[in-house]
Amino acid sequence: MAHLKSGLSRIAVASIMTLSLVACGEQKTEKSDAAKAVGPTVAEATAFISDAEAQLEETGLYLERVSWVQNNFITQDTNLLVAEADKKYIQLGVALATKAKRFQNMEMPADISRKFTKLSLALTLPAPEDAAKTEQLATIKAGLGSVYATGKVTMDGEEKTLGDVSDIIASDRNPERLLEAWDGWRSIAKPMRDDYAQMVAIANEGAKELGYDNVGTMWRSNYDMSPAAFASEADRLWGQVKPLYEALHCHVRAELSDYYGDRVVSDSGAIPAHLLGNMWAQTWGNIYPLVKPEGGAESYDLTKLLVDKGYDAKKMARAAEGFFTSLGFEELPQTFWDRSLFTKPKDRGVACHASAWDLDGKDDIRIKMCTKVTGEDFSTVHHEIGHNIYQRAYQKESFLNATGAHDGFHEAIGDMIALSITPDYLKQTGLLETVPSADADIAILMQQALDKVAFLPFGLMVDQWRWKVFSGEATPETYNKVWWELREKYQGVKAPNERPADAFDPGAKYHIPNNTPYMRYFLAYILQFQFHQSACEQANWEGPLHRCSIYGNKEVGAKFKAMMEMGARQPWPEALAAFTGKREMDGSSIVAYFAPLKVWLDEQNKDRSCGW
């Protein structure tokens, strides 16, 4: 408050001086120059950003609570409530960012300057100052999210949810039935396209008012480097891991062609998307039985182990908590267990997409997850609780710094822990009686690669598509065409049928209608292996990287926690260096992890025509 008074006094003095000059007959140009000389002070800038953080925290946490209710009780009324709360948060963000322009180009301490940059990037989708457009943006956002969350597919004479048709994609081997489920889910997205295009237009107006070319440029500005430099960084990282992906793609395509026949899967070109075991073909672990290595020791079935040991949703979450406490982190608060959603309710519609929540910026942390007792969800619950552990670690930071070093860090934390779910760990925790011999390593690595390596190009292309949408390179009429061009370019995956002219297949992926930036996941898949390799080196592990588990290592945990506690207080290279000793993201760790599998894949592929 003293800083504000000082600033106001200085302005008042300047005004009095100006009046005196006019009274004395001085030139108007001199008056103008005197007024211009009085700029904002560092004290005023510091006070402004502190007040802005307080307002954003109060409004943001209220939006978080309303969103929690809406995600758990999806009705027209809760949609309206979350749209209203979102509108107020957007309006506040726009107003503060606009007022912050007063402090542009002034010298100030690095930590304050960093917060001003973060303030301009605080909204994922900014709105222009026009109140009507802000309200329209919030209404469209809530509506798109609701369409996705409540989508139903008619199959077998009954309505099926996303979970139901995803189960078909995961387990059925009839290509016609797979296509029916795949196509059915994409039909729910058709009505989204026009609203999505309108939302993009409004958000681009808001981004331009904040000084960005478009929303895509704004998103790429969130990584402590220029937007162009970040795009180049993503390409560099993809270049490091692309040969590993190409080897996996070649083997999987050949095995699927053998299984389904050349009529369904050619032994050249892109793979039809409906055959890869996942609704979006982003991970391929569910088709492991079709592509698994022949010979050698068998791997283990984590789903079967969990079922046989009587695990349920809460017991899986307890296992994830136990891994973090073994590293020295505190137990989750009782409110986590009382207030989280662990399984899908039978009496109402909920948004089943797994997510982690921070409702008070302190200890009211929760997950929302329609958990199934599967190996995949066992990893997912580690991932979500990893978010909660990170949220709790940086809770002492101020609002704009109370987040991950960048968004890829947040996604990588829990996944890095999941890499330590090794056979040795499973034996230590009583899930596995006998650790498989080294002969099973290729099978174990294949299972992981079908999820981890297969995901990489999908993680990259989702925002590549949005960047084109925000820049106008992709228009509403070409949204779908550009989507599949990018999927073929990066993934070597194609649509299994001729897509309708009005199709909006991107909308069938949660993160598109819900406006969650996706590059974070690509970066997370790079970082989790970099974290894992560094952690294993700190633990003095000498065996193969894929056999290393840091379970119970409190020294590694303490260093990991120290990095997490930094939040976004410093540029992400500083946080990365605090744990790994390196200031650059590096895809070589994932290559090192899967090195034995790459040798095996190259041997299998030597007489095949790879690429697409």
511 is known as an active-site residue? yes
Question: Which residue out of 53, 205, 384, 411 is catalytically annotated?
Answer: 384
d(CA 317, CA 499): 40
* Cα–Cα distance, 353 to 368 (Å, whole number): 8
Catalytic residue among 387, 410, 511, 532: 511
- For 393-497, strand residue ranges (E) read 493-494
Where do the H-state alpha helices sit in 150-265? 162-171, 175-187, 193-209, 215-220, 227-260
**CA dist., res. 454 & res. 440, Å (int):** 20
Neighbours of 347 (CB within 10 A): 5
Kindly give, in sequence order, each residue whose CB lies less than 8 Å from that of residue 451, ignoring residues fewer than 6 positions away.
283, 284, 285, 376
Structure token digits, residue 567? 């939040």
Contact of 468 with 482, CB cutoff 8 Å: yes
Token look-up 């797994």 returns 354
Catalytic residue at 84?
no
Burial of residue 24, with CB atoms counted within 10 A of its CB: 0-12 exposed, 13-18 middle, 19 or more buried: exposed
Q: How far is CA 427 from CA 68, 377, 433, 449, 549, in A?
A: 37, 19, 6, 22, 12
The whole-angstrom separation of Cα 49 and Cα 39 is 16
* Cα–Cα distance measured from residue 416 to residue 411, given in angstroms and rounded to the nearest whole number: 9
> How many residues appear in the chain?
612
Largest pairwise CA distance in the chain: 99
The 3-state DSSP class for residue 176 equals helix
Active site residues: 384, 511
